[in-house]
């Protein structure tokens, strides 16, 4: 994966393309860069490989399971086991989402990709220079996989209720639906933001497309953060949306400077 500080305005054709982070040189990668830093500090280990898709996980993935087990352990050993099972289920759902991206990458002829799972999500990276249309295909594939995963969890939960497994599957259904809605917000670098930005690239030249895309991203992230705070949503969601809004305005300003005509030199 690219180094955490890799923010070059141009990328070589053989550079690893990170769907969440490298849709365009000006494309902000808050979520993906945070994952890169974590993966850089906590070395990931290979889990398995299938159809040229390599799946890895870092210590954060294991930490997620441990934290949930400890959180649920107030009700005893059974609660700890349920918490650990929920953590494993969350990682499986994240893997399904990233597999959607990876399968789309392979179907477009870009070859293999690498999925890295952590406690904060997943990253799918590959070597390619995708067109805007191809970025849209890859971006849509992730939420589509999440929707299928939510449906499967719902059906299985109905089949095994009432039981501990049914309760976990119900939680996973709700988490998948929440993640689906959140991920489709037109906020970069979420999949919804990637779709909007790619559509803009089809109509507008750069850096104007990034200027408009990050402006939309800032407005929606700010509005969502205010709404989440007003309705007393999770503090984690408020902080994440606020960070996305802050980074969006930073990249908006960067795109605006790039679109400004150069100053005339004195005679």
> Which pLDDT belongs to residue 240?
82
What's residue 260's pLDDT? 55
Range 171-184 average pLDDT: 93
pLDDT in tens, 49-93: 988 899 999 888 899 999 999 988 888 888 899 999 999 999 999
What is the per-residue pLDDT across 220-244, written as a single tens digit (0 to 9) for each?
889 888 988 888 877 777 888 888 8
> What pLDDT is attached to residue 259?
61
Token output for 64: 């997620």
Q: Where are the domains of the chain?
A: 16-184
Residue with tokens 């597999």, as numbered in its chain: 99
> Is residue 64 a contact partner of residue 87, using CB atoms and an 8 Å limit?
yes
> Does 139 score more than 90 pLDDT?
yes
Q: CA–CA separation, 145 vs 98, rounded Å?
A: 8
- What H or E segment, with its residue span, contains residue 127? strand 121-127
Q: What is the pLDDT of residue 161?
A: 84
Exposure string (b/e) for 218-250, b if CB count within 10 Å is 16 or more?
A: bbbbbebbeebeeeeeeeebbebbbebbebbbe
**153, 70 in Cβ contact below 8 A?**
no
Mean pLDDT of the chain: 80
Prediction pTM value: 0.77
Cis peptide before 207 (omega within 30 of 0): yes
């Amino acid at each position: 994966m690219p180094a955490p500080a890799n923010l070059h305005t141009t990328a070589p054709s053989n550079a690893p393309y990170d769907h969440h982070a490298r849709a365009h040189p000006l494309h902000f990668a808050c979520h993906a860069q945070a994952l890169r830093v974590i993966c850089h500090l906590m070395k990931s280990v290979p889990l398995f490989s299938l159809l040229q898709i390599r799946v890895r996980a870092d210590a954060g993935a294991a930490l997620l399971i441990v934290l949930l087990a400890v959180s649920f352990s107030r009700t005893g050993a059974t609660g700890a086991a349920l918490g650990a099972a929920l953590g494993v289920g969350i990682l499986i759902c994240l893997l399904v989402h990233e597999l959607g991206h990876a399968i789309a990458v392979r179907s477009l002829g870009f070859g293999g990709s690498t999925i890295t799972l952590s406690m904060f999500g997943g990253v799918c990276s590959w070597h390619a220079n995708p067109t805007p249309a191809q970025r849209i295909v890859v971006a849509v594939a992730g939420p589509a996989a999440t929707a299928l995963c939510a449906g499967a969890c719902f059906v299985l939960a109905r089949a095994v209720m009432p039981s501990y497994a049914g309760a976990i599957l119900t939680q996973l259904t709700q988490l998948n639906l929440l993640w689906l809605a959140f991920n489709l917000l037109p906020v970069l670098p979420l999949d919804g933001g990637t779709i909007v930005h790619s559509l803009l690239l089809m109509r507008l030249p750069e850096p104007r497309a990034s200027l408009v895309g990050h402006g939309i991203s800032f407005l929606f992230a700010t509005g969502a953060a205010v709404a989440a705070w007003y309705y007393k949503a999770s503090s984690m969601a408020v902080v994440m949306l606020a960070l996305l809004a802050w980074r969006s305005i930073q990249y908006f300003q960067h795109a605006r400077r790039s679109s400004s005509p150069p100053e005339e030199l004195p005679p």
